């Protein structure tokens, strides 16, 4: 499942993490690298529970406390993006070498789709802000997915009768 290119990414992010830990004088523990490694093996969005179970199944079990601690570090050094799409549940995804995409969130069924709008991406990246050094951004577009839009239209028609 891991191509040569993916292996390279594993190495690159490991190195970036090392640089960060060194710069901040944090310790380079095997737990931290094991977590980073697992995250960059699976490309999907994930939440804490999923990650915790995946770590447990792998040969490297870590406590929830360590997971939260490490995720904070990874977010701080821009290797992981943390989303909160409502529901008080954090959803994470890789930040490095992740194809740029936005998120379409259905306000009715709460399903999340990824959306690649290259024109939009360019526009955002070209934007220059005073007094702020942007590193990354999240664009959440709320609305109705085609299924819910159809469903609600049907309902409204019934109400009119």
Partner DNA sequence: ATGTATGCAAACCATTTGCAATGAC
Partner DNA sequence: GTCATTGCAAATGGTTTGCATACAT
Residues that bind DNA (CB under 7 A): 21, 26-32, 47-49, 61-66, 68-70, 72, 87-90
CB 90 within 8 A of CB 6: no
Q: Could you tell me the smallest distance in angstroms from the CB atom of residue 61 to a second copy?
A: 26
48: partner contacted, choices DNA, a second copy, none (Cβ within 5-8 A by kind):
DNA
Only segment of 8-16, 44-52, 60-68, 74-82 that touches a second copy (CB under 8 A): 74-82
Residue matched to tokens 């049907």: 154
Residue 7 vs 53, nearer CB to DNA: 53
For 28-98, where are the alpha helices, taking DSSP H only?
Answer: 30-39, 48-57, 64-76
Residue 88 vs 155, nearer CB to DNA: 88
CB 94 within 8 A of CB 134: no
Q: Could you tell me the smallest distance in angstroms from the CB atom of residue 47 to a second copy?
A: 13
Whole-angstrom CA distances from 43 to 106, 117, 125 are: 22, 20, 23
């Amino acid at each position: 499942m891991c191509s040569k290119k993916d292996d390279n990414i594993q190495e690159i992010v490991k190195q970036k993490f090392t640089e960060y830990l060194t710069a901040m004088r944090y310790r380079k523990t095997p737990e931290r690298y094991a977590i980073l490694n697992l995250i960059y093996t699976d490309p999907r969005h994930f939440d804490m529970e999923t990650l915790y179970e995946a770590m447990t199944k792998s040969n490297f079990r870590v406590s929830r406390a360590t997971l939260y601690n490490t995720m904070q570090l990874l977010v701080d050094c821009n290797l992981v993006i943390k989303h909160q799409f409502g529901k008080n549940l954090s959803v994470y995804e890789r930040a490095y070498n992740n194809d740029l995409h936005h998120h379409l969130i259905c306000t009715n069924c709460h399903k999340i789709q990824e959306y690649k709008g290259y024109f939009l991406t360019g526009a955002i990246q070209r934007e220059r802000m005073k007094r702020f050094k942007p590193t990354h951004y999240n664009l959440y577009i709320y609305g109705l997915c085609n299924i819910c839009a159809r469903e609600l239209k049907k309902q409204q028609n019934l109400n009119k009768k």
